[in-house]
Each structure stands twice: as structure tokens, then as C-alpha cells.
């Protein structure tokens, strides 16, 4: 590299760097922003679906608990509720992680050539 008047002491040409940034354009940034927006939308839709489902299960369990007259039955209801809740939250965490991984992968993919 030949040293020009614009180069600084370490051989860096800020104008050349700026020109390269302009050539790259904002396409990758726009693409990642779109992927992020779509991912966040999908994430919140999934959270809404999950919370609605869990609320319905919680209300149903509460009805059964209030109608329960036997301590052994109550213990069974509580155990079933806890087991189902832990399973549901575990599965939901996996779904949300997959959504996040998916939209991050999309945001990081290089642009495909246009046909």
C-alpha cells in the first residue's frame, strides 16, 4: 500500500474505509432489522398463545381444587398441576429458544444473489 497524504500514522485511510462502507450499503442492516421485527412478532404471538393456554389450565385446576372434598384427591390434583406446569414451561422455553435461533440465523445469512 502506498502511503498517501490522507493516511494516518498506522496506514489507515479513513476516506477509503468510508467509501467501502458506503458500497456495502445498508442492505444487511435493513435485512437484520426485518428479521428481528418478524422474530419479535413471532415471539410475542407464541407468548400470548402460551399464556392463554396456561391461564385456561390454571382456572380449570382451581375449579377442581375448589370442588375437591378429599385430601388425597387434592394432593393428586396438586401433583398433576405441578407436573403439567413444569412440562408446559419447559416446552415453551424450547419453542421460544427455537424462535430466537431461527430469526438470528436469518438475520446473519448473507444476501442471496437476485435472480
pLDDT for 60-113, tens place per residue?
999 999 999 999 999 999 999 999 999 999 999 999 999 988 887 877 775 554
- Inter-CA distances, 57 with 49, 69, 71, Å: 13, 20, 21
Residue 26 DSSP symbol = S
- pTM beyond 0.75: the answer is no
Residue 99 covered by a domain:
yes
Domain holding 61, by residue range, is 54-108
Residue 67 covered by a domain:
yes
Residue 82 covered by a domain:
yes
> What total number of domains does the chain contain?
1
Residue 114 DSSP symbol = P
Amino acid at each position: 500500500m502506498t502511503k498517501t497524504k490522507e493516511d494516518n500514522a498506522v496506514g489507515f485511510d479513513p476516506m477509503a474505509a468510508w467509501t467501502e462502507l458506503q458500497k456495502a450499503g445498508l442492505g444487511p442492516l435493513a435485512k437484520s432489522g426485518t428479521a428481528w421485527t418478524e422474530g419479535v412478532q413471532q415471539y410475542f404471538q407464541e407468548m400470548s398463545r402460551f399464556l392463554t393456554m396456561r391461564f385456561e389450565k390454571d382456572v380449570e385446576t382451581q375449579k377442581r381444587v375448589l370442588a375437591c372434598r378429599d385430601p388425597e384427591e387434592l394432593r393428586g390434583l396438586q401433583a398433576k398441576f405441578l407436573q403439567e406446569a413444569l412440562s408446559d414451561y419447559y416446552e415453551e422455553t424450547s419453542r421460544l429458544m427455537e424462535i430466537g435461533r431461527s430469526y438470528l440465523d436469518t438475520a446473519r445469512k448473507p444476501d442471496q444473489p437476485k435472480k
